[in-house]
């Protein structure tokens, strides 16, 4: 691209809602903006908004306004598919009001509720859903029995499953007295942080330490938090959330990213 081609950087970022052109020019002079990973300090810089990647203070900027990013609090009983061959409730009911054709990033099994991303950004969806990329997820599990500190330590130290060892990045006991569970046993609330993409991994981990899951919800996916979004509701990601998600997706994935293309089902 020659200097006469493309669009001035300050115009592109002003149109993207970063700041006014004058403020963006100040950012450029201060060296706070990078284009394709290289710091730009020339006010006359022009870019191709369709292909160039821009970040401000290390946070990615969404330049392609045709891309849509939506958060769903998936209720239980819904499968993470746009069309279920068995006729079960699927994700189409949550995407029909959006003009774009949206798809889910990764999966949650029918019995698991919580944060699911819907988008028409296929490249982002592929990267974030890939187990090898290791996006951190936080779950709250209501489990059978009274979980002890020793059990929490075992989860973070590591346990052996039929498909190999696994350990939680973090684990903590939220409540060991949540009332009666099945068969009259006590129940506990456990928070687990994982980056694994193995199928039903939270349920299998908790069963392995003697505390089968009663209810499971995903509260966090990478930089995104479910917050107070009610079950069955959707909302668009904020500009800050989109920036954080795009920043995560633009990071180089591990060298073994092509070794396992299974999407998670938690």
**pLDDT, tens digit (0-9, with 9 covering 90-100), for 97-118:** 899 999 999 899 999 999 999 9
**Assigned token pair, 31:** 């060296």
CB atoms within 10 A of CB 193: 16
Q: To the nearest whole percent, how much of the chain has pLDDT over 90?
A: 71
The reply to whether 109 belongs to the active site is: yes
Cβ(176)–Cβ(190) below 8 Å: no
- In CATH terms, the fold of domain 137-221 is Alpha-Beta Plaits (3.30.70)
Range list for CATH 3.30.70.1560 in the chain = 137-221
Render the burial of 226-254: b for 16+ CB within 10 Å, e for the rest.
Answer: beeeeeeebeebeeebbbbbbbbbeeeee
- Give SS3 for 166: strand
What separation, in Å, do the N-terminal and C-terminal C-alpha atoms of the chain show?
45
- Chain centre distance of CA 204: 21
pLDDT on residue 34:
96
pLDDT surpassing 70 at residue 183? no
As beta bridge partners, residue 133 has none
Which pTM was predicted? 0.86
- Give SS3 for 54: strand
Angle (CA) 21-41-60 rounded to 5° is: 65
Domain range 69-133+223-250, CATH architecture: 2-Layer Sandwich (3.30)
List the catalytic residue out of 109, 111, 169, 175.
109
Range list for CATH 3.10.290.10 in the chain = 7-58
Secondary structure of the chain: what % helix, strand, coil (to 5)? 25, 30, 45
- How much is the average pLDDT of 213-217? 97
CATH superfamily of 7-58: RNA-binding S4 domain (3.10.290.10)
Range list for CATH 3.30.70.580 in the chain = 69-133+223-250
CB atoms within 10 A of CB 9: 25
- How much is the average pLDDT of 170-189? 77
Q: To the nearest whole percent, how much of the chain has pLDDT over 70?
A: 90
């Amino acid at each position: 691209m020659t200097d006469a081609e493309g669009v001035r950087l300050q115009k592109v970022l002003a149109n993207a809602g970063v700041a006014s052109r004058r403020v963006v020019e100040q950012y450029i002079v201060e060296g706070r903006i990078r284009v394709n990973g290289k710091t730009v300090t020339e006010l006359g810089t022009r870019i191709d908004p369709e292909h160039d990647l821009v970040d401000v203070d290390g946070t990615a900027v969404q330049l392609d306004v045709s891309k849509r990013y939506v958060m769903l609090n998936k209720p239980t009983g819904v499968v993470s598919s746009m069309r279920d061959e068995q006729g079960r409730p699927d994700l189409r009911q949550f995407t029909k009001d959006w003009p774009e054709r949206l798809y889910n990033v990764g999966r949650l099994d029918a019995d698991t509720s919580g944060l699911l991303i819907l988008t028409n950004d296929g490249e982002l969806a592929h990267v974030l859903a890939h187990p090898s990329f290791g996006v951190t997820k936080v779950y709250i599990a209501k489990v059978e029995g009274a979980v002890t500190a020793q059990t929490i330590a075992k989860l973070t130290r590591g346990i052996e499953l039929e498909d190999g060892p696994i350990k939680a990045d973090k684990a903590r006991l939220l409540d060991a007295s949540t009332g009666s569970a099945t068969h009259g046993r006590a129940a506990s609330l456990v928070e687990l942080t994982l980056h694994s993409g193995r199928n039903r991994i939270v349920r299998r981990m908790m069963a392995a330490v003697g505390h089968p899951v009663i209810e499971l919800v995903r509260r966090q996916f990478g930089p995104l938090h479910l917050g107070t979004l009610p079950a069955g509701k959707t909302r668009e990601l904020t500009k800050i959330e989109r920036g954080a998600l795009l920043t995560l997706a633009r990071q180089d994935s591990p060298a073994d990213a092509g070794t396992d293309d299974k999407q998670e089902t938690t």
